[in-house]
Structure 1
Amino acid sequence: MRTQVGIVGAGPAGLLLAHLLHRAGIESVILEAKSRPYVEERIRAGLLEQGTVDILTGTGVGDRLHREGLPHEGIELRFDGQGHRIPLTGLTGKRVTIYGQQEVVKDLIAARLSHGGPLLFEVEAVEVHELDSDYPRITYRHEGRDQVLHCDVIAGCDGFHGVCREAIPEGVLRAYERVYPFAWLGILAAAPPASHELIYARHERGFALATMRSNTLARHYIQCRPDEDIGEWPDDRIWAELHARMADRDGRSPINEGPVLQKGVTAMRSFVVEPMRFGRLFLAGDAAHIVPPTGAKGMNLAVADVIVLARALEAFYRGKGMALLDAYSRTALRRIWKAQRFSWWMTGLLHRFDGGDPFEHKVQLAELDYVCSSDAGSRTLAENYVGLPLEPG
C-alpha cells in the first residue's frame, strides 16, 4: 500500500488529523491496535475548550456535540468552606463544553467511514522505518497478513505507550517529566451532578472535584496516594470524603449520592519531549506530552497539535515547501508549555502536598482568595481555562 500520510493511532489526534487532511484533499491511512468497540467505548474525560468546539463544528463533525454537549460559562473554586464563581464567559467571551472524549472519537470515526477513508482496527506488530529518509514506511500485520505502508510522512498519534516515540534513536529527544506525589480516585455515579458547573475544592484533607458526564451521571474525584488500594475505598467511604471536602461552613454538601458505576485511580504526571519530530515522523498528542488532569488540557492539546500539523502538511502538498513542517515542533511546543504551566499551577494551587504544611495551606488559601477577588487574577485563570489562541506558525 501507498499513501501520503500514514497515521498510527485512532484516538482524537489521529482521527482529527485524518479528517483535516481529507478536507484538504490529502490521502491518509489510519492504523489502530485496538478494536473499534474498545476505542469507541473507553470512557475518558471530556472538557472541550472553545477552540476545540469551533474546529469540530467548522469541519462538519459538531452536530451531536451541540445536541448533547453541556456548555459551561463558569467554574466554582471552593475553599475555606465557601464557593467562588469564576465567570469564564463574562471575562473572555468564551466557554467550555462537557462532551466525552469517546463521543468525539465516535463522531470522527463515523465521518472517516462515511467517505471511505482507510481505517484499520486490530492492527498488530506495527513498526516504523527509515524515518530520516524521504521514503518512510510502516510495517504491520492485519487479518493475519504482513503489510507494508509506504508514506511521505508518518504521524505518531499512538499515545504515551505507543511505538512511534520509542522508534526515535536514543539521544534525539529530550524528555521533561514531573511525577506528582498524589493521584486522583475517581468515580462515575448514577446521580445528578452537584452543580451545573464544575466545582474545584481545596480542603485541608486534600483536593476534590465535582463534575459530570451528563445531567444524570456525576463524575467525582478526590486526592489520594499514588499507590492507593482501591479495595480500601468502599462506596460509603468515598461519599463521606466527598461530602467532607465539599461542605460549606455549615456542613452542607452539594454532592448527590447514587449507585457507583465505575471506580479507579488516575496517576498525576507532566511529561514533554522535544523536539516532536524526527525526520519524516511527527509526534502529536499523548505521544509527545502528558498533562495532569487538573487543567483539563489533554485532548485540547492533541487537537491543537494536529491543527498545526495539518496546516503544515497542506502547505507542503501545495508546493510551498517544508517551512511549516520544519516549524511544527517549535510552534506546537509554545502552546504545550503554556498549558503545562497552567496545569502545574492549578495542581499546586488546589492539592495538599505531603506533610500538610500549615504555612503552605495558608499561602494556597491566600492565592485562591486573590484569584477570586481580583479581576486580573480571575481573568488569567479564565483565559487559560477556556483555551489560549493557537500559536502562529
Structure 2
Amino acid sequence: MPERTQVAIVGAGPAGLLLAHLLHLRGIDTVVLERQSREYVEQRIRAGVLEQGSVDLLTRAGLADRLHRERLVHNGVELLFDGEGHRVPLTELTGRELTIYGQHELVKDLVAARLATGRPLLFEAPAVSVEDVTGSPVVRYTHNGVERELHCDVVAGCDGFHGVCRPAVAQALTVYEHVYPFAWLGVLAEVAPSAEELIYASHDRGFALHSMRSLAVTRLYLQVPPTDEVAAWPDARVWTELRTRLGRTAGFTLNEGPIIDRSVTALRSFVTEPMRHGRLFLTGDAAHIVPATGAKGLNLAVVDVAVLAAALERWFAEGDESGLEAYSATCLSRIWRVQHFSWWMTTMLHLTPEADPFARRLQLAQLRYLTGSTASATSFAENYVGLPFPEGAFTP
C-alpha cells in the first residue's frame, strides 16, 4: 500500500535529522529515509566546528544537552607562518564563540531525539527515485527487500553530494564547480591536543591544520597531492611532516599518539542554483560544498534547514508560499559569501602545485596584514565565527 506524509526527508545526516526535529516541534509529519545503517551514520567522521548560531539553534530546539556538557569552547584561532604563531581573538573581535563537537556525536544526539518522537526513521532504506516533484511528489525506496512508495507534499533532499535528489531534477539546475589542485590527508589520533585552539599553518612544504575532537582525541590535516593514497602515509611519515609544518622557532611540542583513522579528501567548491525545483528542496551537501578550510559545511546545512523549516511552517499553517519561493535566493546569498571566504582562506594557506615564488610572497603578505591589522582581523573573525542567520529563519 502507498504511504503518505507531509514531508519526505531523504538522508539522515545532520541536515535531514535537524529538519525532521524542527518540523516535529511544529506538528508537521515527516518520514526520514537513510540508505546507510545506523551504525555507519553514527560513526562517520566529519567536521567538528560549530558556529555560535548553530549551537544557539540546537540549544533552543532542546538538542544540545550533551553538547554543552562535552564540547570545547574556542575564543580564538592561531595562524602559523614564518615559524611564529599569531592568535586572532575571535570572541574579543566579534562577541561570538566557536564550539568543537564531533559531527558524529551530533548525529547520535539527533538520532536519539528522532527515535524519541516515535516518528519514522528508516535506516538501510535507500531512495531509488524521486518523481513528479512539480505535481504530487512520490519517493520510491526499498526497505527490507521490498520496494515502497512514499507520497508527500514536499521532498527535502538532504542526501548529500552523491544522493538521488539533485540528479532527479538536474535538467532544471545550473551547477558551478571549482576543483582545487590539492587534497587533505586527515588523521584522527588518540592523544591530547597540543594546543587549546585550532592552528592553521602555512608552510613552505604545504598547509597543515591542528584541530581536536575532545581533550583526548586530536584531529590533524596535511595538504597532499590529490592523487595520493592513504597507504602512502604511514604513521612515521605523518608525524614527521606534521612536526615540520607545525613547528616554530620556540614554545611548541606536537603530541603524538596512535592514529585510529585516516583518509584523503579532495577539496572542491560546488553550488547548485536554484536549490528548489517544484516541491523538491535541496539542503546541505546536496546543494553546495565548500572546501573544509573555513569549517563551514555543517554550519551552512544548519542555516538551510532553519530557513526551510520556517518556510514550511508558514506554508502548512497559513498557506503562505512566500518563504518557499524565497528559500533558494535566501540561502544562496549566504552560500556565495561563505564560498568566497572559504576560497580566499584556502588560497591564502595552501601552496600551489607549481610552488610559484610570486604567489607564495603574496600569501605571506596577506597573512602579515591579516594578523597585523585590527580591521583585517575583524573581517576575518566575522566570517570565521559565522554571520547572523537570515531574517525569518526558524526560531524554536
Report TM bin, short chain.
Answer: over 0.9
What residue in structure 1 maps to residue 167 of structure 2?
166
1:283 and 1:125, CA in 2 relative to 1: closer, same or farther beyond 3 A? closer
Percent identity of the aligned residues? 60
What residue in structure 1 maps to residue 214 of structure 2?
214
- In the alignment, the residues of structure 2 paired with residue 265 and residue 96 of structure 1 have an alpha-carbon distance, to the nearest angstrom, of 26
1:230 and 1:326, CA in 2 relative to 1: closer, same or farther beyond 3 A? same
Q: CA deviation at 1:320?
A: 4.1
What residue in structure 1 maps to residue 92 of structure 2?
90
Q: CA deviation at 1:358?
A: 1.4
- In the alignment, the residues of structure 2 paired with residue 15 and residue 162 of structure 1 have an alpha-carbon distance, to the nearest angstrom, of 16
Amino acid at match of 2:177: E
What residue in structure 1 maps to residue 133 of structure 2?
131
What residue in structure 2 maps to residue 193 of structure 1?
193
What residue in structure 2 maps to residue 302 of structure 1?
301
Say whether the 8 Å CA contact 1:129–1:138 is kept in structure 2. yes
Q: CA deviation at 1:260?
A: 1.2
5+ residue gaps, structure 1: none
SS at match of 1:162: coil
1:254 and 1:320, CA in 2 relative to 1: closer, same or farther beyond 3 A? farther
Deviations 1:193-219 (A, max 9, x none): 120100000011100000111111111
Moved runs in structure 1, 4+ residues, more than 6 A?
none
Moved more, 56-65 or 352-361: 352-361
Say whether the 8 Å CA contact 2:130–2:137 is kept in structure 1. yes
**How many aligned residue pairs are there?**
390
What residue in structure 1 maps to residue 360 of structure 2?
361
Deviations 1:220-242 (A, max 9, x none): 11110000122222211111111
Say whether the 8 Å CA contact 2:127–2:139 is kept in structure 1. no
Amino acid at match of 1:287: A
Say whether the 8 Å CA contact 2:127–2:164 is kept in structure 1. no
Q: CA deviation at 1:169?
A: 4.6
Amino acid at match of 1:365: L
Q: CA deviation at 1:254?
A: 3.0
Q: CA deviation at 1:192?
A: 1.3
What residue in structure 1 maps to residue 330 of structure 2?
331
What residue in structure 1 maps to residue 269 of structure 2?
270
Q: CA deviation at 1:282?
A: 0.3
What residue in structure 2 maps to residue 140 of structure 1?
141
Say whether the 8 Å CA contact 2:6–2:152 is kept in structure 1. yes
What residue in structure 1 maps to residue 259 of structure 2?
260
Q: CA deviation at 1:264?
A: 1.4
Amino acid at match of 1:208: A
- In the alignment, the residues of structure 1 paired with residue 296 and residue 126 of structure 2 have an alpha-carbon distance, to the nearest angstrom, of 30
Q: CA deviation at 1:156?
A: 0.3
- In the alignment, the residues of structure 2 paired with residue 144 and residue 351 of structure 1 have an alpha-carbon distance, to the nearest angstrom, of 47
Say whether the 8 Å CA contact 2:90–2:381 is kept in structure 1. yes
- In the alignment, the residues of structure 1 paired with residue 228 and residue 185 of structure 2 have an alpha-carbon distance, to the nearest angstrom, of 8
SS at match of 1:191: coil
SS at match of 2:5: coil
What residue in structure 2 maps to residue 103 of structure 1?
105
What residue in structure 2 maps to residue 58 of structure 1?
60
What residue in structure 2 maps to residue 380 of structure 1?
379
What residue in structure 1 maps to residue 279 of structure 2?
280
- In the alignment, the residues of structure 2 paired with residue 62 and residue 10 of structure 1 have an alpha-carbon distance, to the nearest angstrom, of 18
SS at match of 1:196: coil
SS at match of 1:207: strand
Amino acid at match of 2:71: G
Q: CA deviation at 1:392?
A: 2.9
Moved more, 294-303 or 257-266: 257-266
- In the alignment, the residues of structure 2 paired with residue 2 and residue 169 of structure 1 have an alpha-carbon distance, to the nearest angstrom, of 25
TM-score by length of 2: 0.97
Say whether the 8 Å CA contact 2:349–2:363 is kept in structure 1. yes
Say whether the 8 Å CA contact 2:94–2:381 is kept in structure 1. yes
Q: CA deviation at 1:159?
A: 0.3
What residue in structure 2 maps to residue 9 of structure 1?
11
Say whether the 8 Å CA contact 1:334–1:391 is kept in structure 2. no
SS at match of 2:206: coil
Say whether the 8 Å CA contact 1:91–1:379 is kept in structure 2. yes
- In the alignment, the residues of structure 2 paired with residue 145 and residue 356 of structure 1 have an alpha-carbon distance, to the nearest angstrom, of 55
Q: CA deviation at 1:391?
A: 2.3
- In the alignment, the residues of structure 1 paired with residue 187 and residue 249 of structure 2 have an alpha-carbon distance, to the nearest angstrom, of 25
Cα-Cα RMSD: 1.1
Q: CA deviation at 1:125?
A: 4.9
- In the alignment, the residues of structure 2 paired with residue 6 and residue 336 of structure 1 have an alpha-carbon distance, to the nearest angstrom, of 24
Amino acid at match of 2:238: I
Amino acid at match of 1:179: V
TM-score by length of 1: 0.97
- In the alignment, the residues of structure 2 paired with residue 370 and residue 281 of structure 1 have an alpha-carbon distance, to the nearest angstrom, of 44
Amino acid at match of 1:87: P
Q: CA deviation at 1:261?
A: 1.1
- In the alignment, the residues of structure 2 paired with residue 158 and residue 318 of structure 1 have an alpha-carbon distance, to the nearest angstrom, of 26
Say whether the 8 Å CA contact 2:33–2:127 is kept in structure 1. no
- In the alignment, the residues of structure 2 paired with residue 232 and residue 158 of structure 1 have an alpha-carbon distance, to the nearest angstrom, of 31
Moved more, 297-306 or 240-249: 240-249
SS at match of 1:273: strand
Q: CA deviation at 1:248?
A: 1.1
Q: CA deviation at 1:354?
A: 1.6
Amino acid at match of 2:149: V
